[in-house]
Amino acid sequence: EVQLVESGGGLVKPGGSLRLSCAASGFSFRSYSMAWVRQAPGKGLEWVSSISTSSSNIYYADSMKGRFTISRDNAKNSLFLQMISLRAEDTAIYYCARDNSFDHWGQGSLVTVSS
């Protein structure tokens, strides 16, 4: 069974940093591209970033470029999202998702940016 478990969310002050993790199991992690998608409270889905199997191709939404960094560790079956210079508008549930078709999603990790 495919499982994606996010962690690392929490309350952070504006301008602060946070690193999210996504632990993958139940499939060959190194064979799939991965992505982060977020959802602000009461709002729709917003793509954050995607990374290819070997990390050779990395893409970001324009509003996240320069502040967010996606990475992965295939040896540890893990996906990461480093976020800096956080703003109130970054408050959201952050989901990790498998593959370019987003065929499996984690339960999400809540990030709250507030003073």
Can you give the C-alpha Rg of the chain in angstroms? 13
Among 27, 53, 59, 78, binds other proteins (CB under 8 A): 59
Q: CB-based contacts of 20: which residues, under 8 Å, 6+ apart? A: 6, 7, 8, 9, 36, 80, 81, 83, 94, 96, 109, 111
Stretch of 26-34, 64-72, 76-84, 100-108 lying at the interface with other proteins (CB under 8 A): 100-108
Residue 46's nearest CA partner among 98, 90, 79 is 90
Residue type, 104: H
- Residue 107 as a binder of other proteins (CB under 8 A): the answer is yes
Is residue 73 close enough to count as binding other proteins by CB under 8 A? no
Contacts with 102 (C-beta within 8 Å, 6 or more apart), sequence order: 35, 37
Q: Which is nearer to other proteins, 16 or 67 (CB)?
A: 67
Size of the site for other proteins (CB under 8 A): 21
CB of 94 to other proteins, least distance (A): 11
Of the candidate spans 22-30, 55-63, 65-73, 76-84, the one that interacts with other proteins by CB under 8 A turns out to be 55-63
For other proteins, the binding residues (CB under 8 A) are 35, 37, 44-47, 50, 57, 59, 61-62, 95, 100-108
